[in-house]
């Protein structure tokens, strides 16, 4: 089966909608409205047994009566009707997605789910779902929910939960993520997550992959796909339901020691997949991997730079706990920083702590000079800059934060070592400060500088970056 088989689902030229009502608002109606609002430019064919028109579009009594081949069929009809419906798709539909619930996730629904999978095979149609919400792809102008960005990006997501899929899109886009596609997969009766991972691995539009999985008996397939990929694209995995289930009573020592989590930990170690354990850490890692160019050596030495002594101390603790080296700079770099004659209260060893006012000296060039020295210091793998927005925004006559972001960008672009540059924007919760943070975040992430709310999130995201870098070094070393 060709790996291009799922492209029609993300960028369909013709969509059939089964489960839209002629006189009320069903799931299919909402889907058609979302498509129209999102600017979908292809053709939509509502399928309805009796109505001539649905949502202002000509309706057809069956998929077979639609005049063109269907790339993607959206199915939201009662579960018992689904298998026969899928059989009617034979030769007419490339990929179908079944939103309906009432299959394997309910007691007594397993037989119907097996029937669905059999019907899919009989009809020669690949079926995503059942029990899911849909597909989002800004490039194909398809979406299954409202308020989704139409800006295409490079992050591809396979999500086993529909609701969490909406969270990933909405919270993710507000964090600066831009998606190549997101597919909710539900019960995975036919199409397995590993097949969609293969799709994203092969898709030229995708450079980072995120997975939310709960467990579908596809662990082995996923392991094999990821291992064969040799980390050619970074993958972040949020695994739900990491408690023991379905394991026989352990009859030996090893059985008792093997919790169901061990396999997922092993998968992370053996494939370079970044393991995370919350939605926020999932998004944090994806933002870093969307923005940063992975280095040839694992990120180890970090320079911390910003305003605020206590934050510098706590930030150093967070970075060291995450396994990074925040040791003092080399003597040459320290001398260069001292030559800048920073004001009293500054510290130049690492962390570099400079009062906000001093950063703006010499028409904003002071911060630029500091960052240039830090990024060219020998052995520095990453620069983490933290800014206390409450303080910085009190300098009302200048756009100090904008200048700092511009300086960070210039430094990153000029850095010979291409050290990672990461920004932490610390706010106080006031609405105006939050609004400014939002604005600066979009600007920085859009330019390729990942932004975090706190240092601990930055430290954890950087450790995800290091996980991938270190894996690549290990497999490279083993193959030479």
CB of 380 closer than 8 Å to CB of 337:
no
Q: Which is nearer to another protein, 246 or 416 (CB)?
A: 246
CB of 216 closer than 8 Å to CB of 188:
yes
Residues 6+ apart with CB under 8 A from 88: 62, 63, 64, 123
Shortest spacing between CB 473 and another protein, in angstroms: 12
Shortest spacing between CB 253 and another protein, in angstroms: 5
Q: Which is nearer to another protein, 258 or 447 (CB)?
A: 258
Shortest spacing between CB 425 and another protein, in angstroms: 36
Shortest spacing between CB 189 and another protein, in angstroms: 17
Q: What DSSP letter does each residue of 32-45 carry, written as one string?
A: HHHHHHTT--SEEE
Distance CA 402, CA 368 (A): 12
Shortest spacing between CB 258 and another protein, in angstroms: 5
Shortest spacing between CB 219 and another protein, in angstroms: 3
Q: Which is nearer to another protein, 275 or 308 (CB)?
A: 275
SS3 of residue 385 by DSSP: strand
CB of 222 closer than 8 Å to CB of 194:
yes
Distance CA 196, CA 225 (A): 10
Distance CA 180, CA 209 (A): 10
Shortest spacing between CB 183 and another protein, in angstroms: 21
Task: Determine the Cα angle at 50 with ends 44 and 53, to 5°.
Answer: 40
Q: Which is nearer to another protein, 194 or 281 (CB)?
A: 194
Q: Which is nearer to another protein, 1 or 257 (CB)?
A: 257
Shortest spacing between CB 261 and another protein, in angstroms: 9
Q: Give CA 270 to chain center in angstroms.
A: 21
Q: Which is nearer to another protein, 431 or 477 (CB)?
A: 477
- Return the axis-axis angle of helices 219-229 and 193-202, rounded to nearest 10°: 20
Q: Which is nearer to another protein, 254 or 293 (CB)?
A: 254
Residues that bind another protein (CB under 8 A): 215, 217, 219-220, 223, 246-248, 250-255, 257-258, 260, 262-263, 265-267, 269-270, 474-475, 477-478
Sign of the alpha-carbon torsion through 269, 270, 272, 277: negative
Q: Which is nearer to another protein, 217 or 310 (CB)?
A: 217
Pairing of strands 57-58, 53-54: antiparallel
Run of H or E including 286: helix 279-291
For residue 103, the number of C-alpha atoms closer than 13 Å in the C-beta half-sphere is 26
Distance CA 149, CA 239 (A): 26
Distance CA 142, CA 148 (A): 10
Q: Which is nearer to another protein, 221 or 402 (CB)?
A: 221
Run of H or E including 287: helix 279-291
CB of 384 closer than 8 Å to CB of 315:
yes
Distance CA 174, CA 172 (A): 5
Shortest spacing between CB 297 and another protein, in angstroms: 18
Shortest spacing between CB 95 and another protein, in angstroms: 26
Q: Which is nearer to another protein, 235 or 421 (CB)?
A: 235
């Amino acid at each position: 089966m060709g790996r291009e088989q799922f492209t029609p689902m993300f960028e369909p030229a013709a969509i059939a909608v089964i489960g839209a009502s002629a006189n009320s608002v069903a799931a299919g109606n909402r889907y058609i409205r979302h498509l129209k609002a999102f600017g979908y430019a292809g053709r939509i064919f509502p399928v309805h047994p009796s109505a001539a028109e649905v949502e202002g579009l000509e309706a057809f009594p069956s998929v077979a009566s639609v005049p063109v081949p269907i790339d993607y069929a959206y199915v939201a009809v009662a579960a018992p009707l689904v298998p026969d419906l899928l059989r009617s798709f034979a030769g007419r539909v490339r990929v179908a997605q079944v939103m309906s619930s009432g299959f394997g996730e309910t007691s007594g629904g397993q037989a119907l789910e097996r029937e669905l999978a059999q019907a899919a095979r009989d009809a020669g149609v690949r079926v995503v779902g059942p029990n899911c919400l849909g597909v989002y792809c800004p490039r194909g102008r398809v979406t299954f929910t409202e308020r989704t960005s139409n800006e295409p990006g490079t992050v591809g997501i396979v999500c086993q939960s529909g609701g969490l899929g909406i969270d990933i899109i909405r919270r993710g886009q507000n964090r600066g993520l831009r998606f190549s596609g997101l597919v909710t997969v539900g019960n995975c009766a036919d199409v397995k997550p590993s097949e969609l991972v293969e799709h994203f691995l092969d898709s030229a539009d995708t450079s980072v992959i995120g997975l939310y999985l709960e467990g579908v008996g596809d662990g082995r397939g996923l392991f094999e796909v990821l291992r064969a990929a040799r980390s050619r694209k970074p993958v972040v995995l949020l695994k739900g339901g990491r408690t023991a289930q379905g394991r026989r009573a352990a009859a030996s020592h090893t059985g008792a020691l093997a919790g169901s989590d061990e396999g997922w930990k092993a998968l992370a170690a053996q494939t370079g997949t970044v393991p995370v354990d919350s939605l926020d850490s999932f998004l944090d890692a994806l933002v870093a991997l969307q923005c940063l160019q992975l280095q040839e050596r694992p990120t180890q030495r970090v320079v911390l730079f910003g305003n605020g002594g206590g934050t510098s101390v706590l930030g150093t603790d967070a970075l060291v706990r995450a396994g990074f080296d925040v040791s003092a700079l080399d003597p040459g770099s320290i001398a260069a920083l001292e030559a800048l004659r920073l004001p009293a209260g500054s510290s130049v060893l690492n962390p570099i702590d400079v009062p906000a006012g001093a950063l703006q000296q010499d028409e904003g060039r002071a911060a630029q000079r500091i960052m240039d020295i830090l990024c060219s210091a020998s052995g520095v793998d990453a620069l983490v800059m933290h800014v206390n927005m409450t303080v910085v925004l009190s300098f009302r006559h200048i756009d100090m934060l904008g200048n700092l972001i511009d300086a960070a960008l210039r430094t990153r672009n000029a850095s010979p070592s291409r050290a990672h540059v990461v920004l932490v924007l610390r706010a106080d919760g006031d609405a105006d400060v939050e609004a400014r943070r939002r604005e600066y975040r979009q600007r920085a992430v859009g330019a390729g500088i990942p932004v975090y709310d706190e240092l601990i999130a930055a430290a954890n995201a950087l450790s995800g970056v290091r996980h991938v870098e270190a894996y690549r070094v290990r497999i490279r070393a083993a193959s030479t």
